[in-house]
Amino acid sequence: MTPAREVVERFLAAVGAGDPDAAAACFTPDATYANMPHPPVIGPAGVRGLLAPILDRAEYVEWEIVTASYAPTRAWLERVDRFRIDGREYVIECNGVVEIDPESGLISAFRDYVDLGVWRARLGDVLG
C-alpha cells in the first residue's frame, strides 16, 4: 500500500467516524485544505475548523470512493459524499486531489472540487 493510500484511508475513516480531531491529525502542520475555489485553511487546526461543523452536526457521514488513483505522494479521488442531517440525507459529487509529504507520510495539501451551484442547491439551507 502506498503512503498516500494509507493516510487517505485513515483520513476517510476519521471522517466516516465523525471525528474531526482524528481527521485533522492526518495533516502536516502547514498543510492546506481547500474547497475550491475558496481560499484554503491552514494546518490541522484549520482542517478541524473546516470539518467540525458538518461532522458534529451530521448523524451519518460517508465519503464513498467511486474511483481512486494513487501514486506514492499523491491521490486522486472521485467521490460521492453523503451526509445525514436532521434525518435527511444529502448527497454531493466531488473530486479530490491529495498531496502527501514523503517524510512524514501526512497530508500536505487537499483540494476538493465540487459544483458550488449544486452544493448550494442541495445543502445551502442546511449548512449555509
Range of the domain at 107: 3-127
Q: What is the pTM of this model?
A: 0.90
The 3-state DSSP class for residue 93 equals strand
Return d(Cα 99, Cα 111) in angstroms, integer: 9
Domain count within the chain: 1
CA 42 and chain centroid, separation: 14
pLDDT of residue 19: 97
Spatial separation of the C-alpha atoms in residues 36 and 114, rounded to whole Å: 7
From 62, 53, 55, 97, select the one nearest 81 (Cα to Cα). Answer: 62
- Give the residues of the chain that fall short of pLDDT 50: none
Residue 22: the pLDDT is: 98
CB 83 within 8 A of CB 89: yes
CATH of the domain at 65: 3.10.450.50
Q: What is the pLDDT of residue 123?
A: 62
